[in-house]
Amino acid sequence: MTKLTERHYTYWFLLPAGIIYFVFFLLPAFLSFFFSLTRWTLTDWEFIGLQNFITFFKEDSLRIGFRNTLIYAVTTSGLKVIIGLLLGNALCSNLKTRDYLRSVVFFPTLLSTIAVGVAFAKMMHPTRGIINQGLALLGIQGPDWLGNIKLALFSVALVDVWKGVGLATVIYIAGIMSIPLEYYEALQVDGGNNWHKFRYITLPLVRPAMHSVIILSFIGGLRSFDLIWAMTKGGPGFATDVIASIIYKQYQAGFYGLSTAGNVILFIAVALLGVPLYRFLTKREVEL
């Protein structure tokens, strides 16, 4: 009897949430692992072992998708981390236009990804698009942003950065604001300049924020789909196809087992890259 009163609540209270979690999250996850090993037509399935995974890696387009996903994730994540840090640092100094700049940098985050993709695809039109028209005014012959096989993926990545850098900046600003002002005062007493402030105080102490930005933007980059679909639908050819868009195309074509296998591969890739990255980053954090 005493044992019951020691606890605040009985474990039965966990049951409703547990059932919902099991039915809507754990069960589908395990089912998808299972169906990735089958030839699946929604009503009927046949066990074929690892055949789906072998097909997935044998097909050229799928390998390209894998490579593109990595390129896309590294490019967007890297640019967001660097540009976000510079913007966050600049927007924490006492500029007169600071509040204006902060809100403008954040505002693309509020827009719908599809709308941004459609608008930018129009602006990147090789001859009539306003980006190339603007470059022509400066005497520069603008490239075919979305039609050039080598450039298309980076054009989409650039739009992703345009849209996502605001969120990174906000995380950085929060991180920089939490650094005690005494450190900066101490540095001023010792005669340090602005560069020293950035290099020896902001940079080491903003690490936790930087790690959040790296993890969030990298995993977001690996899973990205909507912007790519809105801008290029994976084209030209397979130049901007990523794993998510390939899975979608396979699913549309009715290869349910194959696309589920693709999803499992994407999950494994995110876990294999994300978990060690997270471990590596948290080990290097310093206490404030």
Binding site for other proteins (CB under 8 A): 90, 95-97, 100-101, 104-105, 107-108, 115, 119-120, 122-123, 125, 128-130, 133, 162
Asked if residues 247 and 263 have their Cβ atoms less than 8 Å apart, the reply is yes
Rounded to the nearest whole angstrom, what is the least distance from the CB of residue 142 to other proteins in the complex?
A: 13
Closer of 76 and 259 to other proteins (Cβ): 76
- Collect all residues with Cβ–Cβ distance below 8 Å to 80 and sequence separation of at least 6: 161, 164, 165, 168, 213, 217
Which has the closest alpha carbon to 170: 100, 82, 91, 116? 91
Closer of 13 and 107 to other proteins (Cβ): 107
- Collect all residues with Cβ–Cβ distance below 8 Å to 41 and sequence separation of at least 6: 254, 256
First vs last C-alpha separation in the chain: 46
Rounded to the nearest whole angstrom, what is the least distance from the CB of residue 201 to other proteins in the complex?
A: 21
- Collect all residues with Cβ–Cβ distance below 8 Å to 221 and sequence separation of at least 6: 69, 72, 73, 74, 75, 76, 77, 160
Closer of 73 and 121 to other proteins (Cβ): 121
CA angle 198, 201, 207 (to 5 degrees): 95
Rounded to the nearest whole angstrom, what is the least distance from the CB of residue 128 to other proteins in the complex?
A: 5
Rounded to the nearest whole angstrom, what is the least distance from the CB of residue 122 to other proteins in the complex?
A: 5
Rounded to the nearest whole angstrom, what is the least distance from the CB of residue 138 to other proteins in the complex?
A: 12
Closer of 18 and 134 to other proteins (Cβ): 134
Closer of 74 and 123 to other proteins (Cβ): 123
Closer of 15 and 90 to other proteins (Cβ): 90
Closer of 10 and 97 to other proteins (Cβ): 97
* DSSP state, residue 146: T
Question: How far out from the chain centre does Cα 116 lie?
Answer: 16
Q: How many whole angstroms separate alpha carbon 229 and alpha carbon 215?
A: 23
Rounded to the nearest whole angstrom, what is the least distance from the CB of residue 6 to other proteins in the complex?
A: 37
- Collect all residues with Cβ–Cβ distance below 8 Å to 71 and sequence separation of at least 6: 153
Our separate counts of H helices and E strands in the chain read 16, 2
Rounded to the nearest whole angstrom, what is the least distance from the CB of residue 97 to other proteins in the complex?
A: 5
